[in-house]
Structure 1
Amino acid sequence: MTASQPQDSIAWIKGKWGRPAELELPLSDRGLLLADGLFETVLIDHNHPCLLDAHLRRWDESADLLGMAPPPKRSWLDPLIQEAIERLGLEQMYGALRLNWSRGDGSKRGIGLDHNPADPSRHRFWMTLQTHTPTFQTVRTWISRHEYRHAYSLMSRCKTFAYGQAIQVRREAQQREAEDGLMLSTNGSLCCGSSANLVVQRHGQWLTPPISDGCLPGVMRGQALKQGLIKEQSLSAEPQPGDQWLLINSLGCRTISQVNGEPLTNHGNGEAFWRSLLLSHSEQ
């Protein structure tokens, strides 16, 4: 597979390149069996992985929180990522890079872990890269009545393989003729979308729920906080007049036009907000 024969996606695992559907993951991998793993999704723009240091920092911190071995470092990843970009032939297109880190093969059946320190040689890394178009469309949303983000769970603070809850949140929203779902925290506050952080503009100030309300510490959210563009504040589920609500992640920013059937009149420009976070960042 070469740059002269561009594909929609490419993957790498254990020194092998191929399409994601062609490569193999052992059936004994805990990431497959138990969703026992972490991943990061990184935007590729003009052959450059955007905010990669921030993604890898969260990856490291999450592995430490969950008692996993440290994932691969940037010095090892950089040439692999660049080769993936070249093999896929992205040129001027955007891409979505996914870096995966599982706890690897279990020593026995079940969920138990041994008492030895986490061994990186027993963990497993693989990655995928596919073409991507950043998403900025407006969406109708529904606040889930069944699924909640746990305010105190370590899992809420990590981007793990376990996306069953998010799938059900979006499924519930689609059954209500909405495109995406929102979740409340177990403490009753509004938390996030199914796969994105929530940002609300209210009375001229951008707000986002704090990590203590159970939301994932998103990279774009972190950029906005670092630049002083938003501040953390617990939010109720009821929009206020003049609110603008956005769902933001590394791959796009969607403006919320409706919550539980009630329209939001201020649609604003989520794309401009998202792009400002990328343009203002200069990564070494």
Structure 2
Amino acid sequence: MHSWVDGQPESALPLKDRGLAYGDGLFETVAVKGGRPVLLERHLLRLAEGCSRLGINADAALIRSELLAYAAALGEGVLKLILTRGDSLRGYAAQLGAQPRRILQGNPPAVYPSAHAQHGVRLFPCTTRLAEQPLLAGLKHLNRLEQVIARAEWQDAEHAEGLMLDTSGRLIEGVFSNLFLVRDAVLLTPDLSRCGVAGVMRAELLFQAESLGIAVQVADLGLEHLQRADEVFVCNSVYGVWPVRAYAALSWPVGPLTRKLQSIARALLDV
């Protein structure tokens, strides 16, 4: 399917685009089922938060309209929305009056081995650390070099995902997913106020868990919490939930709370 740029089929960008020059922008990766974007409101909420913090004056109604139209045309697959600050002259200062640029790209449905969801995955212990920057924490901004470097650390099929810590040694997230632990029936997930991406599936699972009366805690977590965990899983808005069966010398069973939340995520993605 053709990409759209500012609502029109297009395959090129102006060289002055600040997303290309500085990574000055945001993106959302959205699963599309039956022509409808999954978890749309959560994606748009995170995008709006990013626009507010970065000072990008985007037309939210126009973005929603184009995203819905593109998803309908795509039918099934994975949609990527990129929003940049638009064009500017040389230098970091933004050009006054620049119009944000909207880019929509479509891809076929993501395909992963069924064993990832059924039996769990092994996490690679990434040595790349996430820098702490509260101004950008939680946002899905275009600067993803930390993840690019981390993903290059393993090439084998044994590891489906990598685990990333921050420079202080706290657990943060997977390279392309969010992390959850279960300890004594309490659902734990790392605090992302310093760095990391606040995933939309993460937000939805926290909401669903609280609605079910499951104790939830968002906190600073270290490797010692991982060692004491009863269950571990990762999630994102494309594949849902993968149980984690191993990390380095540690291992866990696929537990009941993981299966419960995995079922909820699957139902959301199968709409």
Distance verdict in 2 for CA 1:63–1:242, change over 3 Å: closer
1:13 equivalent to 2:5? Answer yes
CA distance in 2, matches of 1:81, 1:67: 21
* Superposed displacement of residue 124, structure 1: 0.7
Which position in structure 2 is the counterpart of 1:124?
A: 101
1:195 equivalent to 2:176? Answer yes
Deviations 1:126-166 (A, max 9, x none): 1112221364613322232232241x432222101111110
Answer yes or no: is the 8 Å Cα contact 1:189–1:237 preserved in 2: yes
* Superposed displacement of residue 274, structure 1: 3.8
Distance verdict in 2 for CA 1:208–1:141, change over 3 Å: same
| Aligned mate of 2:79, from 97, 101, 115 | 97
Matching of residues 36-47 of structure 1 within 5 Å = 36-47=24-35
Answer yes or no: is the 8 Å Cα contact 2:181–2:229 preserved in 1: no
1:64 equivalent to 2:52? Answer yes
Distance verdict in 2 for CA 1:207–1:131, change over 3 Å: same
Please report the RMSD computed on the Cα atoms of aligned residues, expressed in angstroms.
2.8
CA distance in 2, matches of 1:231, 1:158: 20
Deviations 1:200-249 (A, max 9, x none): 12222211011235232211111122231532122212433563221211
Which position in structure 1 is the counterpart of 2:253?
A: 266
1:235 equivalent to 2:216? Answer no
Distance verdict in 2 for CA 1:50–1:15, change over 3 Å: closer
Which position in structure 2 is the counterpart of 1:76?
A: 62
1:182 equivalent to 2:163? Answer yes
TM-score normalized by structure 2? 0.82
Distance verdict in 2 for CA 1:82–1:175, change over 3 Å: closer
1:29 equivalent to 2:21? Answer no
Distance verdict in 2 for CA 1:45–1:275, change over 3 Å: farther
Distance verdict in 2 for CA 1:53–1:247, change over 3 Å: same
* Superposed displacement of residue 79, structure 1: 4.4
Which position in structure 2 is the counterpart of 1:166?
A: 147
Answer yes or no: is the 8 Å Cα contact 1:142–1:176 preserved in 2: no
* Superposed displacement of residue 50, structure 1: 1.5
SS across alignment from 1:154? coil
Answer yes or no: is the 8 Å Cα contact 2:29–2:80 preserved in 1: yes
SS across alignment from 1:132? coil
Give aligned-pair identity as a percent.
Answer: 28
* Superposed displacement of residue 278, structure 1: 6.5
Answer yes or no: is the 8 Å Cα contact 2:244–2:252 preserved in 1: no
TM-score normalized by structure 1? 0.79
SS across alignment from 1:43? strand
CA distance in 1, matches of 2:59, 2:259: 32
SS across alignment from 2:162? strand
CA distance in 1, matches of 2:223, 2:15: 42
State the AA in 2 paired with 1:145: T
Answer yes or no: is the 8 Å Cα contact 2:161–2:176 preserved in 1: no
Question: How many aligned positions are there?
Answer: 257
Answer yes or no: is the 8 Å Cα contact 1:149–1:156 preserved in 2: no
Which position in structure 2 is the counterpart of 1:6?
A: none
Answer yes or no: is the 8 Å Cα contact 2:80–2:105 preserved in 1: yes
1:154 equivalent to 2:135? Answer yes
In the alignment, structure 2 segments of 5+ residues that lack a partner are none
